[in-house]
Amino acid sequence: MSISVTFADRLVAAWYRQRLTPLTAALTPLAAAFVAASALRRALYRSGLVRVQRLHVPVVVVGNITVGGSGKTPLVAALAAGLAARGWRPGIVSRGHGRAADGAATDVPQLVGVDSDPALAGDEPVLLARSGFPVAVARDRAAAGRALLAAHPACNVLLADDGLQHYRIARDVEVAVVDAARGVGNGWRLPAGPLREAPSRLATVDALVLLVTDDGAHETWPGAWRMMLAGDTFHRVDAPVLTATAAAFGGKGVHAVAGIGNPARFFAQLDALGIHAVAHAFPDHHRFGPADLAIAGANAILMTEKDAVKCRAFADERCWYLPVRAHIDPALVARIEEKIRGSQTA
């Protein structure tokens, strides 16, 4: 696979070196400013000077302490399904990263359905809506939660996708996700490293979930719950009822596009399935257009489901997506339910 290298690619690669590089070292003054601003923001919420919004149902936030993909959205879908199986009626709220709307427009809560425009609702919220649960987006997750509960009063628990640092919404359970293959990088805060918060933050959450690809990857993270992403059946983007196995893409002219937090993980998954595709990495939440799929000589173009929701309006018969689902320990869901019930009796 060949991937064109951009400045962003070089920066991310530098983040995951064991020590500072000349590039990241030059950014350490900005990292110090980021640490100070983050600490001040959290102190304002802790002191009550900035009000925390509490909803009338329990809230479970799922997030990470690094930028980039770590499996948060598949985990939210899996936890919602697990709680539903135990009798709960979950709803999901999200910031809706990648929305075309900006400024005050992102403050207005929007209910999201399977047919919502990803440019207006965000790619991940549309993907979550496919899981069958009510979804709402707004920059203010508490406002999104109130809108969702008004439209779906039967909901009795909310999951906040990527809500760990959104302190405006009161939470009853915190779940943090770490990609075992990448860890916490060089240990520096943005932009000198990938960290939004210090690694010590992981000791304060109610559950730490480790995204792994093999049975041994969790050994350096004692006490973490394991999660694996699995999927081996492709669906055609313009006609999802049509499916294909990896064997259908064993020839030449196979390309792969990915506009996710960690494109390399998707390309590696294709390799593991025996598919040797030419890789095209895009920024996370990239707004795909027809020109992105106008790849000369491509007999097949493979993509993630998150990218497929943005391409379905113009995808042709060459375009296929690979859905993945998070596999988690049912005991994790039981642990979260225990914490929820404990918060209700406190």
Q: pLDDT (tens digit, 9 = 90+) per residue, 233-271? A: 999 999 999 999 999 999 899 999 999 989 999 999 999
- What phi and psi, each to the nearest 5 degrees, are found at residue 164? -65, -40
Beta strand segments in the chain, E = 59-63, 90-94, 110-112, 135-137, 157-161, 173-179, 207-211, 225-230, 233-236, 239-245, 254-258, 278-281, 300-304, 319-322, 325-328
Q: Work out whether strand 157-161 and strand 59-63 pair parallel, antiparallel, or are unpaired.
A: parallel
* Position 220 confidence tier, pLDDT thresholds 50, 70, 90: low
pLDDT score of 102: 52
* Residues 112-149: b if buried by 16+ CB within 10 A, e if exposed: beeebebebbbbbbbbbbebebbbbbbbbbbbbbbbbb
pLDDT score of 215: 52
- What phi and psi, each to the nearest 5 degrees, are found at residue 268? -65, -35
Give domain 48-183+210-228+327-345's CATH architecture: 3-Layer(aba) Sandwich (3.40)
Q: Which of 289, 319, 291, 290 is nearest to 305 (CA)?
A: 319
* Position 2 confidence tier, pLDDT thresholds 50, 70, 90: very low
- What phi and psi, each to the nearest 5 degrees, are found at residue 9? -60, -45
pLDDT score of 105: 60
Burial of 47 (0-12, 13-18, 19+ CB in 10 A): exposed
For residue 204, pLDDT beyond 60: yes
Tell me the average pLDDT of the chain: 92
pLDDT in tens, 164-196: 999 999 999 999 999 998 899 999 999 999 999
Q: Work out whether strand 157-161 and strand 278-281 pair parallel, antiparallel, or are unpaired.
A: unpaired
pLDDT score of 216: 56
For residue 286, pLDDT beyond 60: yes
Q: Work out whether strand 233-236 and strand 319-322 pair parallel, antiparallel, or are unpaired.
A: antiparallel
Token representation of residue 287: 């707004």
Domain ranges of the chain: 48-183+210-228+327-345, 232-323
Q: Among the ranges 48-52, 79-83, 209-213, 217-221, which has the highest mean pLDDT value?
A: 79-83
| CA 291/CA 119 separation, integer angstroms | 17
- Establish whether the linkage from the previous residue to 283 is cis, with ω within 30° of 0: no
Give the contacts of 229 (CB within 8 A, at least 6 positions apart): 71, 74, 211, 269, 324, 325, 326, 327
| CA 213/CA 324 separation, integer angstroms | 13
For residue 126, pLDDT beyond 80: yes
* Position 279 confidence tier, pLDDT thresholds 50, 70, 90: very high
Lowest-confidence pick of 66-80, 120-134, 206-220, 324-338? 206-220
Element (H or E) spanning 44, and its range? helix 28-47
